[in-house]
C-alpha cells in the first residue's frame, strides 16, 4: 500500500463533492459513480475524472491497474449504494409490495429531476456499450441485476395474492427489464412520466394475471 493522498482543502472551504479528500481512492470511486450515471465507459475519460477531483492523472494507477479495474470497483460501490436505497422502500412492511415498488419509482423520478435528468442508471449506461465492454464487466452488470431481481422477488413473495407469489421471479425479471427502458426514455424527454407509465403497465400486468388465475 502506498502513502499517496490528496492534501486536505483549506480550512473553512468545503470540498467540491462533500468528500473527505484524505481518502483519495474513495473520492475517485465516488466521482466515478457520478460520472458513470451521466455517461458510458467510453465517454468517461480519465482526464475528466482526475481533473474533476484535482488529482494528478498518474496517481490513478496507485489505486487501479487500469480503467477496467476502476469500473469494476465503481460497480461494487454502486451495488452497495443501490441495494441500500432499494431496501429503504422494499422494507416498508406497512405497505403492500406493489405500493413499495411504486414509492421506489416515485422517488427515482424525483432523483432524476433533481439532477436535471443528466444522471441515470450506471448499468443502463454501460449496457448501451455492450459491444465494447470487457466480458468481466458484462458479467458483473448481470450479477448486479440478479441481486436487484432477488430483492424485488422476495418483496413480491410477501404479497397476499397467491397467484403473484408463484410468479415472483418472473415479475421481478420483467420489472428490471422495463425499468432500464423507462429510465432511458425519462432522460430523453426530461420528464418522470415514462417511469410512471412503466409502473402503471407493470401493475396492470399483475392485475391481469390475477384475473386470469382466478
Q: How far apart are the first and last CA of the chain?
A: 62
pTM confidence score: 0.83
In the Cβ-directed half-sphere of 34, how many Cα atoms lie within 13 Å?
Answer: 16
Which residue ranges in the chain fall short of pLDDT 70?
1-22, 160-166, 208-214
Q: How far is CA 33 from the centre of its chain?
A: 9
**All residues at 6 or more sequence positions from 207 whose CB lies less than 8 Å from its CB, including other chains:** none
Residue 28 grid coordinates? 475517485
Q: Which DSSP string do the residues of 192-208 spell out, in sequence order?
A: SHHHHHHHHHHHHHHHH
Residue 11: predicted pLDDT: 38
- Packing angle of the helix pair 193-213, 168-189 (nearest 10 deg): 160
Instruction: Using DSSP, state whether 67 is helix, strand or coil.
Output: helix
Strands (E), 104-209: none
Give the whole-angstrom CA distance, residue 204 versus residue 198.
Answer: 10
Residue with cell 443528466: 118
Give the whole-angstrom CA distance, residue 190 versus residue 188.
Answer: 6
Classify the phi-psi angles of 15: left when phi > 0, otherwise alpha if psi is within -120 to 50, otherwise beta.
beta
Residue 213: predicted pLDDT: 53
Dihedral angle, C-alpha 23, 141, 185, 192, nearest 10 °: -50
The rounded percent of the chain whose pLDDT value lies above 90 is 63
- Average pLDDT in the chain: 85
Give the whole-angstrom CA distance, residue 179 versus residue 202.
Answer: 10
Amino acid at each position: 500500500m502506498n502513502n499517496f493522498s490528496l492534501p486536505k482543502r483549506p480550512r473553512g472551504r468545503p470540498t467540491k463533492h462533500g468528500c473527505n479528500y484524505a481518502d483519495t481512492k474513495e473520492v475517485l470511486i465516488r466521482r466515478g459513480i457520478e460520472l458513470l450515471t451521466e455517461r458510458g465507459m467510453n465517454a468517461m475519460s480519465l482526464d475528466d475524472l482526475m481533473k474533476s477531483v484535482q488529482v494528478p492523472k498518474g496517481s490513478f494507477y496507485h489505486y487501479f491497474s487500469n480503467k477496467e479495474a476502476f469500473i469494476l470497483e465503481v460497480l461494487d460501490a454502486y451495488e452497495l449504494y443501490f441495494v441500500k436505497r432499494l431496501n429503504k422502500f422494499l422494507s416498508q412492511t406497512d405497505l403492500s409490495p406493489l405500493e413499495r415498488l411504486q414509492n421506489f419509482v416515485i422517488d427515482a423520478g424525483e432523483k432524476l429531476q433533481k439532477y436535471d435528468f443528466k444522471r441515470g442508471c450506471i448499468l443502463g449506461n454501460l449496457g448501451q456499450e455492450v459491444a465494447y465492454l470487457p466480458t468481466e464487466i458484462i458479467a458483473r452488470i448481470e450479477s448486479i441485476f440478479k441481486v436487484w431481481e432477488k430483492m424485488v422477488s422476495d418483496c413480491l413473495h410477501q404479497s397476499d395474492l397467491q397467484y403473484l407469489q408463484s410468479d415472483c421471479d418472473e415479475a421481478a425479471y420483467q420489472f428490471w427489464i422495463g425499468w432500464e427502458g423507462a429510465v432511458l426514455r425519462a432522460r430523453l424527454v426530461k420528464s418522470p412520466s415514462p417511469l410512471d407509465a412503466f409502473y402503471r403497465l407493470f401493475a396492470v400486468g399483475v392485475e391481469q394475471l390475477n384475473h386470469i388465475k382466478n
